[in-house]
């Protein structure tokens, strides 16, 4: 039986809930947010564009696409990020897949941790092996008009020896900070008309490069 959600933050642009994951010391988190000054397309593209994220997210140490699959749009990502002192930096290997449902006016982005032969563990970082994220974006009008709501559900095991309340504090402070930075990056891209890859477009200029088989079947 699933635990009830507990609201732990209520801000202007989003609300944050958590609930215990049974059989562990971890929480699952859920964020509901809304913006009126950015289009859904901009918010979606900025979140997916790994090269642009290296510029606006100061916590990123490495962020590389290891593999892409043309047929499904799946990508395997290697992400190394700073953690608060005195903890070691964490690294994630995860597969992500996105879908734009024009009929129902929805955009969906899902990610989860996988293993990949190209990215063995590095003793310099702590490998996070349990990680899941799902985001659903619903435009207020269209993909190219300002205004949308989003629902983000997230959980991971950062492999710390700290008690649950410390990990909860890190997530509940780190996640809103990330979402605000993501929103600011989308605004900046809009105002400066930065070249951000358009993940909604289909065609030879936007299609990912072909690659060999690996862990993409996990998506």
Q: Which helix (H) or strand (E) holds 131?
A: strand 131-139
Query: Which residue, 98, 97, 66, is CA-closest to 80?
Result: 66
Beta strands, E only, the chain: 6-10, 14-20, 27-35, 60-68, 75-81, 90-101, 106-113, 126-128, 131-139, 148-156
Whole-angstrom distance, CA of residue 126 vs CA of residue 82 = 11
Tell me the domain boundaries of the chain: 6-190
Whole-angstrom distance, CA of residue 23 vs CA of residue 106 = 33
| 102-160 per-position pLDDT tens digit | 999 999 999 999 999 999 999 999 999 999 999 999 999 999 999 999 999 999 888 77
- CATH architecture of the domain formed by 6-190: 2-Layer Sandwich (3.30)
Is 0.85 topped by the overall pTM?
A: no
pLDDT at residue 171 is higher than 70 = no
């Amino acid at each position: 039986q699933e635990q009830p959600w507990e609201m732990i933050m209520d801000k202007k642009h989003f609300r944050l809930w958590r609930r215990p994951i049974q059989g562990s010391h971890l929480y699952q988190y859920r964020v509901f947010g809304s913006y009126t000054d950015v289009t859904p397309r901009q918010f979606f593209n900025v979140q997916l564009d790994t090269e642009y994220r290296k510029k606006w997210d100061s916590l990123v140490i490495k962020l590389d696409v290891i593999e892409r699959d043309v047929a499904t749009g799946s990508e395997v990502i290697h992400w190394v990020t700073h953690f608060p002192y005195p903890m070691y930096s964490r690294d994630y290997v995860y597969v992500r897949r996105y879908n734009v449902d024009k009929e129902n006016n929805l955009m969906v982005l899902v990610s989860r941790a996988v293993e990949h032969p190209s990215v063995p563990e590095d003793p310099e970082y702590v490998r996070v092996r349990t990680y899941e994220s799902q985001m659903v974006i619903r435009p207020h009008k269209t993909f190219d008009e300002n205004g949308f709501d989003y629902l983000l559900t997230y959980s991971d095991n950062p492999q710390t020896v700290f008690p649950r309340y410390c990990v909860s504090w890190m997530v509940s402070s780190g996640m809103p900070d990330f979402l605000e930075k993501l929103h600011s990056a989308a605004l900046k891209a809009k105002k400066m008309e930065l070249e951000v890859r358009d993940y909604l477009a289909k065609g030879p200029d936007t299609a990912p490069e072909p690659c060999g088989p690996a862990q993409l079947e996990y998506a």
